[in-house]
Structures are given as C-alpha cells and as structure tokens.
Amino acid sequence: MGDRYRLTRIAFDVVSVFGCLRASGVPGPIIVRILADHGYSASSVRNQLTRMAQRDLISLERCGRVTQYRLSPRILAQFRDISGDRELPEFTGRFHAALYTIPETSRPLRDRFQYVARMLGYRQLRAGVLIGFADRSHALRAQLPGDIDGGWYECTQIVPADLAAAKRMTAIAFELAGARRQIEEFEVEISRLGGPRDKPGAGLPELPIGRFFDLYYRVGRAVMENPLLPAEIVGSEQPSQRFRTFMDRCNLEYYLRYDQQVREAAAENAAFDLIEWLPEG
C-alpha cells in the first residue's frame, strides 16, 4: 500500500491532539505547541498539517491570522471505530472476496483500492485476492473505474472446503500469528508502565510524552489493523479485543501522566480561546 494512505507517526500525533484536548477544532499554534513536547519542530508540524489537508485528512479555515483545523469525517469515523463496541461478524461458510489485477502503471489507483479494501474489512489472502466476512462490494467497486487499462477486477465469493480450511485462510489473510506475537510484546511494555505492583501510572515515572506515544501509536495501529473476527473462526481469543484493552490502558496512562501537562501547554497559547471543545460526557 502506498505511503499516501498510511497513517504515519507524525500524522497520528497530530490527530491525537484533538483527542487529548477533547476538541473538534484546534488552532494551528496550539497543535504546534503541544507537539513540541513530542520532539517535533514547528516547521515539521506545519508541513505535516499542509500534507494532511492535501490528503483530505483534515480541513482548515482561516480565523483572522490563525488557521483552525478539524478532522475529516473519514478520520473521525476511523477513531470512533477504535473506541466503539461492535458485534462480532458471523461466518456463513463463505468469504466475500475481490479478485483483481491492477498494473504498475495504475499504481495510485491500486494503492487507493487496497487502502479502501482494508478500511472495509478485507485482507489480502495472496496477491490479487482479498477476502472478508461482509459484502462490501458496492463500496469497493466505487473506487475503481469501469475499465482499467491492462487490468481487471471481480467481486465474488470463496467457499472453503471446511471450517479448518476457513481457519487457515483467515490466519493467513488476517496475519493472526503476527497479531499474537504483538500482543505478547505489548503485554511486556504495558506492564512496565504499572511498575512492580501493576498500578497505572506508577512505573517509569520520568517517561517523556514523546516516548509514551511511541507505544500509543503502535497500539492504535494494531487496533485499526485488526478487525473483529467471527467467533467460529478464532474462538474467544480475539486479537482485536486484546488490542482494544491495551488502548484502554494507554488512555488511562495518558490521563494520569500527561493530561494536565497538555492542557496547561495549550492554555499558555494566545489561540487557546479558539479551541472548539467537544461536549462533556
């Protein structure tokens, strides 16, 4: 997938400013000030804001001499999905699939197609074969023109021979082995945050906010990249739910360690009164 469609670390940190302040609109100088504590220069933050606006990840509005930024509906939906509760999908005995060949000459189109497919819950079983547990073919087709020069695509269904085959295919496409290894790594790192008695906020008392966000970013990406899967396929061991539990712990650690620091940094800036706060509760 092309870099245009990846949520990079600095883009994640920009988005996190809205969540940390619990705001729908944040002035540029506030974003620059808060991310200075993450180790970013003012110029790198401004350049990132420009790139994110060009990619329609954020919108902007001039308010006198200050630019006001807001998250796009797509990013808002993505982050609401992280925190929201969803029902497990069902396995009906078949996978919904997309078969495609999009040549290198149409790489931007292929990158967008693969990105949207992941956002819709499909994963790559092998080159040119995407599988998922829900029919999202209409949304997927909408990303491609009727004719692709030198390529083709088809939405269909794949019926595995039996449940064991379905489990093997799911493990490959959704990279379950890698997800379980990542769970073990996160368990070790998050346990350090609690110290010997596993008390939130008690471990690593001098941890800078930038280093904390190294972990926050990786946990956030894991949540976004690991959708909920049918219980018939993975049983009660849901990697997605484990990652969401880690995200809840990271949210608590952030609140205990850095919430006051971030709010004080924002309040010091002259643009503080332009912040558009989300309703409490």
On whether both 249 and 208 belong to a single domain, the answer is: yes
Note whether residue 2 is domain-resident: no
Mean pLDDT value of segment 209-230: 94
The pTM of this model reads 0.87
Domain that holds residue 146: 95-159
Q: Are residues 192 and 245 in the same domain?
A: yes
Give pLDDT tens digits for 154-196: 999 999 999 999 999 999 999 999 999 999 999 999 999 988 8
Q: In terms of C-beta density within 10 A (0-12 exposed, 13-18 middle, 19 or more buried), how is residue 100 classed?
A: buried
Nearest to 267 by CA among 33, 42, 37, 68: 33
For residue 113, pLDDT over 50 is answered with yes
Is the same domain home to 149 and 178? Answer: no
Asked which of 133, 159, 185 is the last residue of a domain, the reply is: 159
User: Does 164 map to a domain?
Assistant: no
Residues 181 and 252 in one domain: yes
pLDDT tens digit sequence for 121-140: 999 999 999 999 999 999 88
CATH code, domain carrying 108 = 3.30.70
| d(C-alpha 4, C-alpha 121), whole Å | 19
Average pLDDT over the chain, rounded to an integer: 91
